[in-house]
Amino acid sequence: RKEVEQDPGPFNVPEGATVAFNCTYSNSASQSFFWYRQDCRKEPKLLMSVYSSGNEDGRFTAQLNRASQYISLLIRDSKLSDSATYLCVVNGNTNAGKSTFGDGTTLTVKP
Amino acid sequence: DAGVIQSPRHEVTEMGQEVTLRCKPISGHDYLFWYRQTMMRGLELLIYFNNNVPIDDSGMPEDRFSAKMPNASFSTLKIQPSEPRDSAVYFCASSLALYGGINTEAFFGQGTRLTVV
């Protein structure tokens, strides 16, 4: 089993749709969690951190469920510019500093 | 800060040749990571350093791969000899350890696209 698993995708949605991605992780001692976005032929970039209380940034909402060991990302009112691959990232515990990336979920928003 | 800087951006080499990829992390960051990304395998962590010391190299595919970090501002990933299956995008990333051992997010360089023919 992979340490971090994501919805395989791809997701093809019309503009304005709401789309949700899920991610599960296997290490219960994981400390920090992120969603990254990667555009085609570009490097991954941080989209948002994920906090236990959940957090929102405009149209994007991230949730963490430690008991079930999953993370979610909700995108509301999707735009064409949201088309990208979304990567779930889990950081190790103690001082490991190791980031483990999921394989990513590809989103295509169509007019 | 200019961010994480990688060179070269593109590299085409013949099988059997030595390839050296370079990375300059963000100043002040104490973690440096080397990743490889392919369509088949996604983003794989090859090795990471903390304060210039290699911590985990379990992701390095085989002895043909080696990485060094001689100082806080420079790291190299070397492949010798290179093979066609090494063709991939190689990313370097850096992050900062915060209080309690939790890291900030990783900041990535633009990557080196390696093609071995």
Does residue A99 have a pLDDT over 90?
A: no
Average pLDDT, chain A: 90
Taking CB atoms and an 8 Å limit, are A97 and B48 in contact across chains?
yes
pLDDT 10s digits, B1-51: 689 999 999 999 999 999 999 999 999 999 999 999 998 888 899 999 999
Q: Is A110 exposed, middle or buried (0-12, 13-18, 19+ CB in 10 A)?
A: exposed
- Distances in Å between the Cα of B8 and the Cα atoms of A83, A99, B90 are 28, 24, 10
Distance CA A14, CA A18 (A): 9
pLDDT score for A62: 95
The neighbouring-strand residues paired with B92 are B34
Does residue A95 have a pLDDT over 70?
A: no
Closest CA to B6 of B53, B67, B74: B74
B52 touches chain A (CB under 8 A): no
Using an 8 Å CB-CB cutoff, list chain A residues near B114. none
Q: What's the average model confidence in pLDDT over A47-68?
A: 91
Does residue A98 have a pLDDT over 80?
A: no
Report the percent of chain A where pLDDT is more than 90: 68
pLDDT 10s digits, B69-85: 999 999 999 999 999 99
Distance CA B29, CA B24 (A): 10
Structure tokens at A64: 């963490």
- Report which of residues A97 and A57 the model is more confident about: A57
A1 touches chain B (CB under 8 A): no
pLDDT score for B96: 85
pLDDT 10s digits, B93-117: 998 877 655 667 889 999 999 999 9
Cis peptide before B70 (omega within 30 of 0): no
The conformation of residue A3, written as its DSSP 8-state character, comes to: S
Q: What's the average model confidence in pLDDT over A3-32?
A: 91
Among A32, A45, A102, select the one facing B103 at the smallest CB separation: A32
Taking CB atoms and an 8 Å limit, are B45 and A98 in contact across chains?
yes
pLDDT score for A32: 85
pLDDT score for B70: 97
